[in-house]
Amino acid sequence: MQSDTIKRGIQRAPNRCLLYATGISPSDIGKPFIGLASSFSDLVPGHIHMRDLERYIERGIAAAGGVPFIFGVPAVCDGIAMGHAGMHFSLPSREIVADTVEVVARAHSLDGLVLLTNCDKITPGMLMAAARLNIPSIVVTAGPMMTGRYKGRRRSLVRDTFEAVGLAQAGKLGYEEVAALEISACPGAGSCQGLYTANTMACLTETMGMSLEGCGSALAVSSKKRRIAYESGQRIVRLVRENVTPRRILTLNAFKNAIVVDMAMGGSTNTVLHLPAIAAEAGVKIDLELFDKISRATPNIVKLEPAGDYYMEDLEYAGGVPAVLSALKGKLEPSPTVSGKNITDIAKNAKILDAEVIRVKNPYSKEGGIAILFGNLAPHGAVVKQSAVSDKARKFTGRARVFESEELAMKAVSEKRVKKGDVVVIRYEGPKGGPGMREMLSVTAAIVGQGLSESVALITDGRFSGGTRGPCIGHVSPEAAEGGHIAIVREGDTVVIDIPSRKIDVRLTDADIKVRMATWKAPQPKFKYGYLSRYSKLVTSASTGAILK
């Protein structure tokens, strides 16, 4: 076992002495040492119930003959970090999560890992670590939150709080009503209720075979989630004994299957950052063109909020990820999973329990949820959640309204200076220029709340929350800070967005662009010290997953 490095032989007497100080017994020395990487936090609603899940995972590990060791991993709540300087740290925290798991696992020669995670950047960070370490690993995502309830209707974070801000600014909602919504929309533990980044990544983790069957949608407050936690603890000991490592599971087929499910469900655009980053750690190359190729051939059969009116609880009751796999079984490639079953067998044996939530016979559209756009504004690509864009707004031509930061754009929207026909351009918010590629949910939700979701477009080298809807194009690459063409767009320029044709352009000739670029100067870094200063120097383009090099 890997852990023999720290526990076998006379020379390891001091190491064993310290291990005994933790409370283990001499009889435990011959057992597999399993690290339980827990991202428990009192700050993050999706993680506040993890102490309970830790207990069940520990019990499973011990029952199967392993020794559990819990260690902590940091977690950022994107919703709390949204709309201010805190969001600079969200995407960069993904790398810290991966590095933390790597450091602890390698320093202590752990035999295997259970990765307890849930929210936006923690799950991909955990998967990156698993692929990098390549020791037996299993992921337990802690589950989605139930919807809230107010005035006889189900309520959720994005539609009933973020978009409520825009409604209030437009005079359509009183502040007392906003206060009532904010206290009722999120009733307790779990990741936010729609198909935003956290829940998308949970579903794709299960699809890639790194979680047990049913884990992706099992609700945070359910006994089913506890059982999955316990069974995951048992299963990791078996994986260690059989030496089933992540790179045997995270193959090209696994990533292709994840993209198929992502497109079929209309998942968060952030997957276009996270899947390539995980793949890079696993030694697999996937690019933006693969996302678009699969999207064109995959029907959109699920529409959860923000694109539709269903929630993760509805998906769970419809059969969860296995039911989605069943609907897509003709499009899936054979791929092993941590359960020991092949993903194609799981798909074959699953049943769809609600044909309205998972629509096989009458899909919402012939194409998948995400589209990749190219053009003179985004030579290396840009990303849009097309399943959340109305038919009226799929082709959009408008005048550029240029802002050098999210805050300036939000101020203009709040003051109602953004009008019908405008294309809001927010730049210097990319991985390097942001730094950290902030999400723009506050801006997009305010636009929706003001009733402008079909008449105003938004483009940025930053990114969007999975909760964004409307013609919002993110991940514009190259970003402004690297001299991308978004840097030379001027107020009043005409921007043309054509999602069906996968095009995004500014009406400038090559000569015009060349003249403007000749006078462009790279901006000074926004952070002169600390983690973000280092991050901005090492991070790569959004088109390659914003990985560090």
> For 265-307, how does the pLDDT look when each residue is reduced to its tens digit (9 = 90+)?
999 999 999 999 999 999 999 999 999 999 999 999 999 998 8
Q: Which of 15-24, 130-139, 328-337, 383-392 has the lowest mean pLDDT?
A: 383-392
Residue 421 has a pLDDT of: 95
Closest CA to 377 of 397, 354, 359, 362: 397
Residue 165 has a pLDDT of: 84
Span 15-20, mean pLDDT? 96
Write out pLDDT tens, residues 35-47. Answer: 999 999 999 999 9
Categorize the per-residue pLDDT at 464 as very low, low, confident or very high, splitting at 50, 70 and 90: confident
Q: CA-CA distance, 65 to 186, in Å (whole number)?
A: 39
Q: CA-CA distance, 206 to 199, in Å (whole number)?
A: 11
Span 427-443, mean pLDDT? 92
Query: Is the predicted pLDDT of residue 313 greater than 70, yes or no?
Result: yes
Categorize the per-residue pLDDT at 167 as very low, low, confident or very high, splitting at 50, 70 and 90: confident
Contact (Cβ atoms closer than 8 angstroms) between residue 151 and residue 176 = no
Q: CA-CA distance, 377 to 274, in Å (whole number)?
A: 23
Closest CA to 548 of 446, 435, 426: 435
Write out pLDDT tens, residues 333-374. Answer: 999 999 999 999 999 999 999 999 999 999 999 999 999 999
Query: Is the predicted pLDDT of residue 14 greater than 80, yes or no?
Result: yes
Q: CA-CA distance, 464 to 196, in Å (whole number)?
A: 10
Q: CA-CA distance, 517 to 510, in Å (whole number)?
A: 10
Query: Is the predicted pLDDT of residue 129 greater than 80, yes or no?
Result: yes
Using DSSP bridges, classify how beta strands 378-385 and 33-38 pair: parallel, antiparallel or unpaired.
unpaired
Which one has a higher pLDDT value, 137 or 79?
A: 137
Query: Is the predicted pLDDT of residue 466 greater than 90, yes or no?
Result: no
Instruction: Note the pTM of the prediction, 2 decimals.
Output: 0.94
What is the Cβ-side half-sphere exposure of residue 277, based on CA atoms within 13 angstroms?
A: 30
Residue 467 has a pLDDT of: 67
Query: Is the predicted pLDDT of residue 169 greater than 90, yes or no?
Result: no
Categorize the per-residue pLDDT at 53 as very low, low, confident or very high, splitting at 50, 70 and 90: very high
Write out pLDDT tens, residues 392-423. Answer: 999 999 999 999 999 999 999 999 999 999 99
**524: exposed, middle or buried (Cβ count in 10 Å: 0-12, 13-18, 19+):** exposed
Closest CA to 191 of 224, 235, 146: 146
Which one has a higher pLDDT value, 272 or 467?
A: 272
E-state strands within 322-394? 370-375, 378-385
Phi, psi for residue 516 in degrees, rounded to 5: -65, -40
Q: For all residues of the chain together, what is the average pLDDT?
A: 95
Beta bridge partners of 141: 117
Categorize the per-residue pLDDT at 159 as very low, low, confident or very high, splitting at 50, 70 and 90: confident
Active site residues: 465
Residue 380 has a pLDDT of: 97
**136: exposed, middle or buried (Cβ count in 10 Å: 0-12, 13-18, 19+):** buried
Contact (Cβ atoms closer than 8 angstroms) between residue 399 and residue 293 = no
Residue at token pair 């970003």:
479
Phi, psi for residue 66 in degrees, rounded to 5: -110, 170
Task: Count CB neighbours of 64 within 10 A.
Answer: 20
Categorize the per-residue pLDDT at 171 as very low, low, confident or very high, splitting at 50, 70 and 90: confident
List, in order, residues 6 or more apart from 439 with CB less than 8 Å away: 78, 82, 87, 90, 462, 463, 464, 465
Beta bridge partners of 139: 115
Write out pLDDT tens, residues 57-74. Answer: 999 999 999 999 999 999
Categorize the per-residue pLDDT at 164 as very low, low, confident or very high, splitting at 50, 70 and 90: confident
| Structural domains of the chain, with CATH | 31-144+190-349 (3.40.50.2300), 156-184 (no CATH), 370-544 (3.50.30.80)
Contact (Cβ atoms closer than 8 angstroms) between residue 40 and residue 50 = yes
Residue at 427: amino acid letter? R
**134: exposed, middle or buried (Cβ count in 10 Å: 0-12, 13-18, 19+):** middle
Closest CA to 426 of 414, 408, 442, 411: 408
Whole-number percent of the chain with pLDDT over 70: 100
Closest CA to 110 of 22, 213, 26, 1: 1
